Structure 1
């Protein structure tokens, strides 16, 4: 009948102070779990902007102005009013404007308003009717891994004279 064990004791309910309002409370949020990053909006370079230097991002860039330098991005859109003088490298590349330099991309698309002066190295390519293109086109399964390799130079001539 009398024991120190609480096994047989009735369950006690905590006493509340009735003067305080007893509203149901939501559980306290724990630290937020790291969620997948929401897709960021593309960086837009407006038509009145001129950049001298290289651009590199893992995100998306939309160029409407002038860039004098190389661009590397995930998705690169060269707008109709844009001019890029340098190498452009992207997973997905859409050219509506002018590019003077080498183009490398997994998926390259030249729209009818595109003007490209340079070589294109691609995995897949689409050139719309009306696009202006001067250069060579080369298919490559991994066009992005070529780095900044210059085109292979011809070996020196064996009959070179002295100057």
Structure 2
């Protein structure tokens, strides 16, 4: 269902060692390897991909269609389509998603809230530990 859709390209990078203070709005794809103190929001009118790497820390709201987290987020996370939580993901805040893939080791300190369209049930996928 979600895997068949082509991913938007990552066109922007917040590199390791960078610190951004303020809100970020982006289109298509963004990868965060540094620190962000502010909200990160994708344009809701186009398909979007947000990657928060193992080295990254975000303090603020995170919002995009497809969100992949392997770092730390302190604030609410809203994935309008798919949320992938990698093994080193640490989230302190409420999480809203349409579909969720969570690997062993990921930690959420907050509520999980599925984004429902009509009467559909949320898609949950437990990722197997490949180690």
TM-score in same-fold range (> 0.5): yes
Which residue in the other structure is 1:43 paired with?
12
Distance in 1 (alpha carbons) for counterparts of 2:114 and 2:9:
30
The runs of 5 or more residues in structure 2 that have no matched partner are: 1-7, 43-47, 118-131
Q: Determine the structure 2 residue equivalent to 1:125.
A: 100
* C-alpha distance in 2 between matches for 1:79 and 1:58: 18
2:58 to 61, 73, 84: 84
Q: TM-score normalised to the size of structure 1?
A: 0.61
Are the aligned partners of 2:10 and 2:49 in contact in 1 as well (CA < 8 Å)? no
Matches within 5 A, 1:128-143: 128-141=103-116
Relative contact order, higher structure (CA 8 A, sep 6+) = 2
Q: Map Cα deviations across residues 99-136 of structure 1 (whole Å, 9 max, x no partner).
A: 00000012101100101110001100111101111100
> Aligned-pair RMSD on alpha carbons?
1.3
**Count of aligned residue pairs for this structure pair:** 104
Please tell me whether residue 103 in structure 1 is matched to residue 77 in structure 2.
yes
DSSP-derived class of the 2:16 partner: coil
User: TM-score when scaled to structure 2?
Assistant: 0.75
The runs of 4+ residues in structure 1 deviating greater than 2 Å are 39-42
Deviations 1:61-118 (A, max 9, x none): 1000000000012110001000000000000000010000000012101100101110
For the pair shown, which has the larger CA radius of gyration, 1 or 2?
1
Distance in 1 (CA, whole Å) between partners of 2:22 and 2:94 is 21
CA shift for structure 1 position 40: 5.2
The reply to whether residue 112 of structure 1 matches residue 87 of structure 2 is: yes
